[in-house]
Amino acid sequence: MKKKVLAGILAATMAFSMAACGSTGSSSDSGSSAASGSTAKTEEKGEPYTVTMVLQGSQQPDEERIEEKINEILEPELNAKLDIVVLPWASASQQLQLMLSGDEKIDLLYTSATTAVQYMHSGQIMDMSELIDKYGTNLKDIYGEDIAKTNQIDGFVYGVPNQIERGSIPAIFMRKDLVEKYNINTDEIKEPKDMEKVFETVQAGEPDMTMLFSSNNSDTPLSRLSRADGLGDANTGALMDQTNSTTVENYFASDWYKETATMLHDWYQKGYISKDAGTNTENWRTVCKAGNLFSLFFAYHPGTPVEFQSSTGYEFEIVPFYDQPIINSSSYGGIIFSVAQNSENPEKAMQVLDYIYGSPEVMNLLNWGEEGTDYVVEDEENGIINYPDGVTADNAGYSFNCGWELPNQFIAYKWDGSDPQLWDKMQEFNASGIESKALGFVFDNSEYADQVSALNNVISQYNGALSSGSGDPEELLPQFLEALDDAGIDDVIAAKQEQLDAFLAKK
Amino acid sequence: MKKAEVKKGKKKNVLKEYWPLYLMMLPALLYLLINNYIPMAGMVIAFKKLNFAKGIWASPWAGLKNFKFLFASKDAWIITRNTLLYNVAFILVNMVVGIAIAILITEVRNTKLKKIYQSAILLPFLMSMVILSYIVYALLSAENGLVNNSILPLFHIDPIQWYQKPKYWPAVLIIANCWKGIGYGCLIYIASLIGIDPSFYEAARLDGASKWQEITKITLPSLVPTIITLLLLSIGRIFYSDFGLFYQVPMNSGVLFPTTNVIDTYVYRALIEQGNISMSSAAGVYQSLVGFCVVMLSNWIVRRVDKDQALF
C-alpha cells in the first residue's frame, strides 16, 4: 500500500519531471545495436552483458545465489549474465510503467498483449521480429515461426508467448470437504446458475462462510465466466460467439453480461457473495487460506487441481462448464515476454531469452532454485521434485513457483503431488482447443487513443461493481451504457470491426 | 540619463548592503528553479504524441488532441467541480472547527489536561492516509463495519452500502479530512490565542461581560489576521487535492467516482492504468491552468477588500 502511495506521488510529479529524464532516455537507440550483425559465441570477448529480466511475484531471499548459478551456465555459453528483478504483484504494473518511462536499465519484461500494445505505441518496447529471425532457434522449434510471431501488429512483434495452457475452461471450484459433507451431486451442475441450489444448501449449514469469491479488481466472478474474445481488449468490443461469428459487439451491452451481472447481484443480496466484494482487492488464495471460502469461479486446465491444493491446502471439486478450451489471440498473448526499448543490447537479451526456452537447467533454477539446497528430485523418471529435509514453504531460500510466468515450464521439473503426465496432458489439452475465427488478430487502437482513454475511465467506474455482484444492474447498467455511448464506444467498435474484416480478408 | 544612473547605483547598493540575505535566498531559489521552473518545459508533452523511442522533442505534434479525452466524457467538469468544491469545504470546515476547538482548549484550566487534549487532537495529523483509510473502512465496511452493525440498528435504520453510494461521500470525506487535519490548524490558532493580552479579558470581566461576549468581542477579532493568512495560504493550493485522501479512503471504488474523483486521482489513473503520458500531462496542464486562474482571481478579490493582505 505504501508503495502505491509512493508510486502515486511519483506519478503526479512525473507528468512534469519527465522532461528532464525523457530527453536522455531517447538517446538509447534501437538502430546501432541492430547494425552489429551476427555474433558467434567464439567471436565475443570483453565484459559479459547483464540482461535484466523483470518478473512479478514474491521476492526470494536467495535470489543472488540462484543468479550466480544461472550465470555459471550463461557466461560460457553466451557471454551474458542474468539479473532478475521481481516486482510484487500488487504494484507490479505501476512499477513497471515507471521503470519503462524512466531511464532504468531493463531488457526483458513479462507482460500481456494488451499492455504490450500500449508500450508499443509509446515506444517503450522493441520490435522483436528480426531478433526472432536471428536468435529465436528454440522459439521456432517449439511454436513454429507463425506462432512465435503471432503477437504482432503490422509486422511489429511486441512479444513472444510463454509455454502455458492455451485457452481455459470456466469452471466452478468447490472445497471438496464441504461438497462431501453436504452430499452435493456435482452431476447436476451444468451451468453457473445451477450453483444457486448448492449455495443454498451449504450456507444453511455454514452461515459464517462466504459461498462465492468476489473482488473488485480484474479477478471478478463475471470475468472468470466470460468466454468472449476481446480481440486484444474486451473494453472496446468483443466477439461474443467467437467460433461462429465475427461480429464485434459491445461486450457490456450483451445479454450475457446483463444476465450474469443480474445473477451475481442476486447472489450478493442473498449473502452468497461477501458484502465487501465491491471494495475487496484481496487475492482469493488469501481468503481461501483463512478457511472462510466455499467456492470460486476460475479457469480450469490440467494443472489447476494440484496448483490450487498446494497453494491453499484444500482439495477442490472442479466442475467445468464447457468441454473444450477456445484458442484465440489472447491464448498466445496472455503471458508474453517483450524486449524493452531501454535495453542496451537487445541481441543479447533475445539470445538469453531464447536460451531459457530450451534450457531445463535454467528453467529449474529460475522456478525451483538449486538442486540439493532448494529441492531434491524424488522421481527422476517423471521429473517430480520436493523440498529437501528440513526445508518448508516458510523457510525456503528460493522457491519462485510461478512456472507459467517463465518462458517454458514444460521442460522443467514438476512439484510433488503433480500429475506425472502433467506436461503431456497439458499439450493434449492445448491440442483439444477449438480456434476462434479471429485467432491472430489484435486490435490496433492507436488512432482512437482519446476514445479508449475515456472508455477506460467509464469502465473503471462501473465494471468493478457490476462484475463483482455488488452493484445493482437495474440501476447501474443503463447509466453505464449511456456513459459508454457518450465516450464514443460505437466509433471504436466500428473501427475494430473494420480492422477485423480486413484481417479476415487477408487470411 | 542621470536618473537612470542613480537608479542603477541604488540597485548596486541594495545588493552590496544585503548580500548575506541574497546568499541565504540562493538555495531556495535554486530549489524552485530545479523543481518548479525547469520541469515546466515538460508541458510540451501535453501537445505531443509521445514516443519513447524518438524522445520528447522528436515525437510528432498532436495539437490539442490529448486534451480531447478529458472532454469526451463529463470527466473534466466532474473532476474540476469536485476538486474546487471539496477544497472550499475543507477550508471552511477546518477553519470553523479549528477555531472552536482552539478556544475550547485554551479555556481548559488544568495545564496537564490541556497538554493531553492538544496532543490527542494533533495525533491524527501525523497518521498516514493508508491508516486513515482503514479506520474509515472499519467504520463503514458493509460486512463488519461498526456503523452498519452497531450504530444504525440502534436507530432502526437499514444497513447502508457505503462504498456503493456516492451521495454519502462528500460528508464522509469532509469529516475524515477534518478529523485528520484539524490538529495542525488548531495549533496555530492556539498559539495566536495565547498571544492575546490577558488584560482585555480582565477588563471585560470587570465590566460584567459573559463568556460568549468575551469570545465574540475579544477572541475572534484578535484572530482575524491569523485567519486571513491561513485562508490565503490554502487558497493558493485550492486546485491541488490530497491524493491519499481521495485515492485511499474510498478504497478505489469505481461507483464512487462521481463524488470522489479529483484531478490528482484522475491523472494518476490515466497515467498508471492506461500508460499514456501525453494524456496525463494534458490533464496536468489543465490543472495548472485552472489553478493559476483561481489563484489570480482570489488574490484579485482579496486585494479589492484589503490591499495589504493580498499575496501580490
Query: Does A180 score more than 90 pLDDT?
Result: yes
Which of the pair, B231 or A267, is modelled with greater confidence?
Answer: A267
List of chain B residues whose C-beta atoms are within 8 Å of the C-beta of residue A30: 53
Residue of B nearest to A465 (CA): B255
Exposed, middle or buried, A266 (CB in 10 Å: 0-12/13-18/19+)?
middle
Q: How far is B201 from chain A (nearest CA, A)?
A: 47
Name which residue leads in pLDDT, B15 or B85: B85
Which residue stretches of A206-320 are H helix?
221-225, 255-270, 284-289, 304-312
pLDDT value of residue A212: 93
For residues A155 and A26, which has the higher predicted lDDT (pLDDT)? A155
Q: Return the pLDDT at B11.
A: 60
Give the residue from A17, A125, A275 with the most B CB atoms within 10 Å of its CB, the best one to mutate: A275
- CA gap A148, A156 in Å, rounded: 12
Mutation site for A-interface testing, chosen from B272, B280, B289 by largest number of A Cβ within 10 Å: B272
Q: Do A454 and B73 touch (CB under 8 A)?
A: yes
A374: cell is 532448494
Q: Is A210 helix (H, G, I), strand (E, B) or coil?
A: strand
pLDDT at A13: 42
Q: Where are the domains of chain A?
A: 47-163+332-359
B72 close contact with A: CB closer than 8 A: yes
**Least trusted range by pLDDT, from A4-8, A359-363, A399-403, A470-474:** A4-8
Residues in chain B: 312
Question: pLDDT (tens digit, 9 = 90+) per residue, B272-285?
Answer: 666 677 888 888 88
State residue A261's pLDDT score.
Answer: 95
Contacts of A463 in chain B (CB under 8 A): 254
Is B237 within 8 Å of chain A by CB?
no
Give the mean model confidence (pLDDT) for residues A244-257.
92
A59-68, A339-348, B156-165: range with lowest mean pLDDT? B156-165
Write the CATH number of the domain with boundaries A47-163+332-359: 3.40.190.10
Q: Is the pLDDT of residue B74 over 80?
A: no
Q: What local confidence, expressed as pLDDT, does residue B311 receive?
A: 66
CA atoms within a 13 Å half-sphere pointing along the CA-CB vector of A456: 20
Interchain CB distance below 8 Å, A97 and B272: yes
The pLDDT, as a whole number, for residue A343 is 92
Q: Quick one: pLDDT band at residue A11, thresholds 50, 70, 90? A: very low
**pLDDT tens digit sequence for B116-135:** 998 999 999 999 999 999 99
Among chain A residues, the shortest Cα distance to B261 is held by: A461
- Do the beta carbons of residue A302 and residue A425 sit within 8 Å? yes
Sheet of strand A316-320: strand arrangement: A210-212, A293-300, A169-175, A316-320
User: Of all residues in chain B, what percent carry a pLDDT higher than 90?
Assistant: 26
Q: Report pLDDT for B12.
A: 65
pLDDT at A35 over 50: no
Q: How far apart are the first and last CA of chain A?
A: 47
Residue B302 confidence (pLDDT):
76
Q: What is the CA A126 to chain-centroid distance, rounded?
A: 20
Residues of A in contact with B58 (CB under 8 A): 26
The shortest C-alpha distance from B105 to chain A (Å) reads 34
Q: What are the tens digits of pLDDT across the range A293-316?
A: 999 999 898 888 887 887 788 889
Backbone angles phi, psi at A297, to 5 degrees: -85, 135
For A413-448, write each residue's pLDDT tens digit.
988 878 888 888 888 898 888 888 888 788 887 788
Rounded to an integer, the average pLDDT of B68-93 is: 85
Reference A334, options A238, A423, A405; nearest CA is A405
Give yes or no for residue A14 having a pLDDT over 50: no
Question: What is the C-alpha separation between A397 and A399, in angstroms, rounded?
Answer: 7
Judge whether B269 and A17 are in contact, CB under 8 Å.
no
At residue A153's C-alpha, the angle toward residues A110 and A234, to 5°, is 70
**How many other CB atoms are found less than 10 A from the CB of residue B255?**
25
Distance from CA of B180 to the nearest CA of A (A): 17
* CA distance readout (Å), B8 to A153, A313, B12, B18: 66, 83, 6, 16
Instruction: Give the Cα separation of B139 and B151 in Å (integer).
Output: 10
- A47: confidence class by pLDDT, cuts 50, 70, 90: confident
Q: Which residues contact B282 (CB under 8 A, 6 or more apart)?
A: B46, B47, B66, B67, B69, B70
Please write the tens of the pLDDT for every residue from A190-222: 999 999 999 999 999 998 899 999 987 777 899
| Share of chain B residues as helix, strand and coil, in percent rounded to the nearest 5 | 80, 0, 20
Residues A8, B247: C-beta atoms closer than 8 Å: yes
For each of the domains in chain B, give its residue range(s) and CATH number, in order of start. Answer: 72-309 (1.10.3720.10)
Most confidently predicted of A86-90, A308-312, B215-219: B215-219
Q: Dihedral sign for Cα A481, A487, A492, A494, please.
A: positive
pTM score, two decimals?
Answer: 0.77
Q: Does B60 touch chain A (CB under 8 A)?
A: no
pLDDT at A27: 36
Contact (CB<8Å) A101/B277: yes
Report residue A404's pLDDT band, with 50, 70 and 90 as the boundaries.
confident
Identify which of B251, B268, B272 has the shortest CB distance to residue A279: B251
Three-state DSSP class for residue A175: strand
Least trusted range by pLDDT, from A12-16, A387-391, B85-89, B280-284: A12-16
Q: Residue B305 belongs to what H/E stretch?
A: helix B277-305
B248–A471 CB contact, under 8 Å: no
Q: What percent of chain B has pLDDT over 70?
A: 92
- pLDDT tens for A89-124 read 777 888 888 888 877 889 999 998 888 888 888 889
Tally of CA atoms within 13 A in the half-sphere of A423 that contains its CB? 14
Tell me the percentage of chain A whose pLDDT exceeds 70: 91
Inter-CA distances, A349 with A80, A128, A146, A459, Å = 9, 11, 21, 37
| Predicted local confidence at residue B15, as pLDDT | 79
- The confidence band for A28, taking pLDDT boundaries of 50, 70 and 90, is very low
Establish if B254 touches chain A: CB-CB under 8 angstroms.
yes
Contact B253 A464 (CB under 8 A): yes
